[in-house]
């Protein structure tokens, strides 16, 4: 392995001792963050737009299907996040291996991630058996519960491609090829949109599946995206450099490393999403169908704010991993500051737009129900208040993940979510009698406090001391 006195190569530039100062400039930092992030942003935006369209199409069926698809969709994703979080840490190992020029390790770790993704089959089977119990606990109206079960159980068919796809999608940005997941996401989401129209409303000779059609369309899209990524992973040019076709053997040491770093990341991701799912289904959902529908609409608009930031976070995770692999901590930090500035500017701007025009947007896109429009707009005003804090959370999480600082993040998420957010939501919503709006105030406080926690950790630089590899690897 060459150290910094040698030469590093990736698809963007070569790094040598003589030109290292060039890569320390802010112009170069902006260029690198933009190069890595824009394809991921475009891919995630395509997903966000398609998800937005999903809910718009389901909304044509009425308030009950809209409430059901929001809640069931959240829980479908929530129950997969523990495994997705573990598998997604494949990118941390690939990025740092890439920075060290350990090309074959990039494919070795990716294959271990693929093998971990196979546990999704067992997870889906268990969830199918217990799904009725899960949704009965939420105490939604009988018709909402019935439609939630239909949507949720079909979505379980997409767990396997979603998990395997997570490992593959982590590989490409980590080797500075972020456009590959973008193309697969756009193709899959266009297919999802077309199938939604056909299957929800029963077009071109297909039966009218309604809410089930939206779920089938999503599953088919997930399989399509994963197959595209897998075939590209095995293509000759990547095999020539990374040996993607030959280094597929199960590797106990690397699997153990991936699990050691990945389990805290998976728990962190699961517990974070789970607390929002509990918030949606067990707190906001208990205030009635109008509150739940308004909440789901507000969350849909919020996705337009934070999904691009999440995409930048994925990119910054790969960038941090690569620069740490090259032992260039200051350059890694500089890239994070650039990402923070870009995302805070975007999210604050979007928050202002939703606060000012939220009522008009809700009435023209989702619902003419005056109660839904009024309450949904109030929630969007609250959401606007925490956009800058949320940008800090998202980017810091990506940076710390790229360094392998997953255990500390897990405890920070647990303490803030379950020690502050949910208890405060219960107090403000039920004890003080402020309803769903009061519970959303607690969400605003939680996001602000969490952002201060994560930025403190980042500034402490303790993440720079973490070693994710248990022993040196050979080229």
Q: What is the pLDDT of residues 140-186, one digit of tens each?
A: 788 888 888 999 999 999 999 999 999 999 999 999 999 999 899 88
438-467 pLDDT tens trace: 899 999 999 999 999 999 999 999 999 998
Mean pLDDT throughout 221-239? Answer: 94
Q: Give the mean pLDDT of 236-252.
A: 93
**Of 348 and 272, more confident:** 348
Q: Which of 13-27, 102-116, 123-137, 215-229 has the lowest mean pLDDT?
A: 13-27
**Whether pLDDT at 473 is above 80:** no
Please name which of 77, 106, 378 lies closest in space to residue 242, comparing C-alpha atoms.
106
The pLDDT of residue 51: 67
Model pLDDT for residues 132-151, shown as the tens digit of each residue: 888 888 777 888 888 889 99
Which residues lie below 8 Å from residue 29, measured CB to CB, with a gap of 6+?
331, 334, 335, 337, 338
Residue 81: CB partners within 8 Å, gap ≥ 6?
A: 266, 269, 270, 272, 273, 274
Q: What confidence tens digit (pLDDT) does each residue in 69-121 have? A: 877 887 888 888 888 889 989 999 999 999 999 999 999 999 999 999 999 99
292/282 Cα distance (integer angstroms): 10
pLDDT at 35: 87
pLDDT band (50, 70, 90) for residue 475: low
From the list 202, 192, 158, the residue with the least C-alpha distance to 52 is: 192
pLDDT value of residue 273: 81
Query: Mapping DSSP to helix (H, G, I), strand (E, B) and coil, where does residue 9 land?
Result: strand
| In the predicted structure, residue 24 carries a pLDDT above the cut 80 | no
> What number is the average pLDDT over the span 202-223?
89
pLDDT the model gives residue 29: 82
Q: Give residue 289's pLDDT.
A: 78
- Tell me: the pLDDT tens digits for 318-373? 999 999 998 899 999 999 999 999 999 999 999 899 899 988 988 888 878 888 88
């Amino acid at each position: 392995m060459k150290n910094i006195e040698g030469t590093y190569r990736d698809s963007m530039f070569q790094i040598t001792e003589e030109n290292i100062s060039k890569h320390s400039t802010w112009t170069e930092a902006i260029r690198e963050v933009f190069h890595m992030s824009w394809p991921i942003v475009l891919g995630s935006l395509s997903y966000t737009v398609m998800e937005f369209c999903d809910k718009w199409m389901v909304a044509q069926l009425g308030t009950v299907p809209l409430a059901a698809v929001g809640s069931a969709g959240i829980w479908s994703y929530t129950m997969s996040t523990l495994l997705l979080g573990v598998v997604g840490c494949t990118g941390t190992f690939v990025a740092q291996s890439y920075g060290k020029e350990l090309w074959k390790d990039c494919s070795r770790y990716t294959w271990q991630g693929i093998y971990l993704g196979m546990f999704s089959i067992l997870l889906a089977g268990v969830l199918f058996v217990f799904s009725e119990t899960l949704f009965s606990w939420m105490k939604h109206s009988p018709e909402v519960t019935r439609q939630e079960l239909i949507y949720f159980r079909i979505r379980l068919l997409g767990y396997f491609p979603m998990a395997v796809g997570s490992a593959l999608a982590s590989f490409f940005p980590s080797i500075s090829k972020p456009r590959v997941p973008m193309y697969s996401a756009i193709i899959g989401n266009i297919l999802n949109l077309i199938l939604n129209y056909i299957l929800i409303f029963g077009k071109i000779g297909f039966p009218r599946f309604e809410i089930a059609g939206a779920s089938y369309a999503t599953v088919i899209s997930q399989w399509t995206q994963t197959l595209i990524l897998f075939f590209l992973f095995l293509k000759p040019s990547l095999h020539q450099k990374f040996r993607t076709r030959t280094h597929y053997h199960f590797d106990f040491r690397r699997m153990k490393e991936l699990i050691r770093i990945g389990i805290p990341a998976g728990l962190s991701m699961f517990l974070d999403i789970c607390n929002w799912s509990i918030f949606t289904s067990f707190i906001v959902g208990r205030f009635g169908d109008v509150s739940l529908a308004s909440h789901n609409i507000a969350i849909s608009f919020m996705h337009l704010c934070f999904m691009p930031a999440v995409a930048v976070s994925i990119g910054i995770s790969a960038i941090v991993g690569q620069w740490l692999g090259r032992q260039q901590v200051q350059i890694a930090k500089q890239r994070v500051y650039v990402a923070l500035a870009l995302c805070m500017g975007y999210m604050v701007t979007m928050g202002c737009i939703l606060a000012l025009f939220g009522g008009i947007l809700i009435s023209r896109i989702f619902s003419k129900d005056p109660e839904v429009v009024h309450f949904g707009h109030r929630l969007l005003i609250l959401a606007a208040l925490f956009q800058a804090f949320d940008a800090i959370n998202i980017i810091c999480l990506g940076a710390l993940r790229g360094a392998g600082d997953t255990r500390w993040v897990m405890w920070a998420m647990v303490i803030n979510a379950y020690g502050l957010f949910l208890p405060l939501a219960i107090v403000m919503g039920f004890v003080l009698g402020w309803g769903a709006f009061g519970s959303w105030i607690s969400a605003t406080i939680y996001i602000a406090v969490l952002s201060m926690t994560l930025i403190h950790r980042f500034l402490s630089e303790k993440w720079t001391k973490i070693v994710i590899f248990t022993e040196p690897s050979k080229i």
